[in-house]
Amino acid sequence: MRKNVTLLSLLLLFGVMVQAQVQYPVNGNFENWTTASFAGQTYDSLVGFDTPQRLATALAVPDTVTYRTTDASDGSAAVLMISKEVTIAGLLTVVVPGSISTGTFFVNLFTQEFGVTGGAFIDCKPTELTGFYKYAPAGVDTANIVVLMTDAAGDTICDVTLQLDDATTGGYQPFTLPLVYTGSTAPTLVQILITSSGVGGQDGSTLYADNVVLRGGDCVTGLFDAFSQPQAIEIVPNPAADAVRFNLPLDQNAAAAIMDLSGRTVLKINAVPGMNQVDVSQLANGVYVLRVAENGKTVYSGKFEKF
């Protein structure tokens, strides 16, 4: 009986530990969408990701290249990306690929440059990106799945690409993209980019994607519906020498922790509603992540540097 109780306790403890993690990318099953608008124009917006449709709406381009679809490998929604030839601001005619990214899309009409900047916060070191796709290329087009990760110093430590060039048959097919690192530092920012066309894309290439997950390492998988993106919390001063402050917008106490970039907890905090001050003078110089949890779930997250 004692062994059974101990086993149950361990299972409960493990459950609490798992619930404190966040799966990456957030909303990688593409179930959560909202309606966004710009200058009176509305479009489907994928929670946790950016799409070219935000730029297209701002530039008065009527064509949509990224859609919500109910043709999913699992669940009720997936993302559909279609490459289209469009004219931007009456000046530039290009093939815009259907795309999603955890970064932010930008376009420069003067240099005719289109790309992605930034990414999403990550506090684990995955070994692969997996998911499901269907692809119908136009001509010799190729779809691309790209993972780029940077560390706290802003250095690129992972930059890998998977090209899909064959039409799929029989529904969704699985893919696996191994992640190769160039250093031992931990990633803090991940840019995932999925596009229906590569360089010199072809009008009409069509790509479906669903259930995209970063796996391996210390990343948790299989918990899509349990989490949402933690909200950013401001930490001041930043950088700090002796103490940091943050305002907790909750009406009750919450468990908080400061972790180094290896994921090790270096300080536990009982955070209170309103302003909190934390002595960090004993911490080694470096970059740290503050995470605030409520009911076992990370609800606020922020980063600061100790010097």
| All structural domains of the chain with their residue ranges | 33-226, 231-306
Q: Residue 276 pLDDT > 70, yes or no?
A: yes
Instruction: Give 67 or 277, the one with higher predicted confidence.
Output: 277
Residue 169's pLDDT is 85
Residue 137 pLDDT grade (very low, low, confident, very high; cuts 50, 70, 90) = very high
Specify the DSSP element, H or E, that contains 178: strand 173-178
Residue 112 pLDDT grade (very low, low, confident, very high; cuts 50, 70, 90) = low
Strands (E), 24-119: 33-38, 41-46, 66-69, 78-82, 84-88, 92-96, 99-101, 104-108, 113-117
Tell me 201's DSSP state.
-
CATH no. for 33-226: 2.60.120.890
Residue 124 pLDDT grade (very low, low, confident, very high; cuts 50, 70, 90) = confident
Tell me 225's DSSP state.
G
| DSSP-assigned states of every residue in 61-79 | -----EEEES--SSSS-EE
Same CATH fold assignment for domains 33-226 and 231-306: no
Asked whether the beta carbons of 68 and 123 are under 8 A apart, the reply is: no
Asked whether the beta carbons of 198 and 268 are under 8 A apart, the reply is: no
Phi and psi torsions of 247, nearest 5°: -100, 120
Residue 220 pLDDT grade (very low, low, confident, very high; cuts 50, 70, 90) = low
CATH no. for 231-306: 2.60.40.2470
Q: How far is CA 256 from the centre of its chain?
A: 22
Closest CA to 90 of 50, 120, 110, 60: 60
269 CB-side CA count, 13 A: 26
- In order of 29, 74, 187, 278, the CA distances from 68 in angstroms are 12, 14, 30, 44
Q: Which two tokens stand for residue 225?
A: 């519906």
The pairing of strands 189-195 and 143-150 is: antiparallel
Residue appearing with tokens 């916060």: 121
Distance CA 257, CA 33 (A): 31
pTM: 0.66
Beta bridge partners of 301: 232, 291
Instruction: Give 5 or 266, the one with higher predicted confidence.
Output: 266
Angle at 69 between CA 68 and CA 72, to 5 degrees: 125
